Amino acid sequence: MQRVSKWGRARGKGAPGRRFSKRSVAVQGVVWGLVVLVVAAVAVPLLINNRYTAWDGAAKGRLLRAAAAMDECAQLSRGSYAGCDAYTMKGLERGVRWRDPTAEDGYFAERKRDKVGLVFVSERGEESFRVETTSRTGRLFAYDYQGGEVARTRTGNAEGPVPW
């Protein structure tokens, strides 16, 4: 006679029910492991690409803040960008790490990672300026303003400068 558990199911040696062999449990483990690997192989590149996009977006935002600060400096200087060097800009916009192209710690640094997050005021004139920054991806973003026209370019790829 079979014993009955308190939930009404038969238990014991000959009781019907789901029993798995050791081989089927091992096969299930391998199948689940493969499923996890496939999902990871699809998800990891997407996450990395999102990270690169975010780094480039941060560099673009830095340049747009710098360009707005350059306009503010020109308004204070009677419409001329000539006096808007990095030293002057540090006083106007403290959220941007300003550098002149001749700074030892900046533009001519040998490693690209040393330039990440810095904004360089590389060219200034009466009616024009150029600011540049480097993203963590190694791409160089530039914002050129000349006589009312704006050119925004990105370099660092094989195809050369492209607009952003």
Whether residue 50 is contained in a domain is answered as: no
* Rg for the chain, CA atoms, rounded: 30
pLDDT category, 21, cuts 50, 70, 90?
confident
Whether residue 83 is contained in a domain is answered as: yes
Residue 164 has pLDDT above 70, yes or no: yes
Whether residue 6 is contained in a domain is answered as: no
Mean pLDDT of 122-148: 88
Mean pLDDT of 9-36: 74
pLDDT category, 159, cuts 50, 70, 90?
confident
Segment 23-72, tens digit of pLDDT:
788 888 899 999 999 998 888 888 888 888 999 999 999 999 999 999 99
Mean pLDDT of 65-93: 89
Whether residue 91 is contained in a domain is answered as: yes
Mean pLDDT of 128-146: 90
> Strand locations in the chain, DSSP E?
3-4, 10-11, 97-99, 118-124, 128-134, 140-146, 149-155, 162-163
pLDDT category, 111, cuts 50, 70, 90?
low
**Domains of the chain: total:** 1
Mean pLDDT of 11-30: 70
CB atoms within 10 A of CB 85: 14
Strands 97-99 and 118-124, sheet pairing: parallel
154: containing domain: 57-163
Whether residue 21 is contained in a domain is answered as: no
**What pLDDT score was predicted for residue 59?**
92
CA 106/CA 132 separation, integer angstroms = 11
Whether residue 9 is contained in a domain is answered as: no
Whether residue 2 is contained in a domain is answered as: no
Mean pLDDT lowest among 25-29, 71-75, 113-117: 113-117
Closest CA to 131 of 92, 140, 139: 140
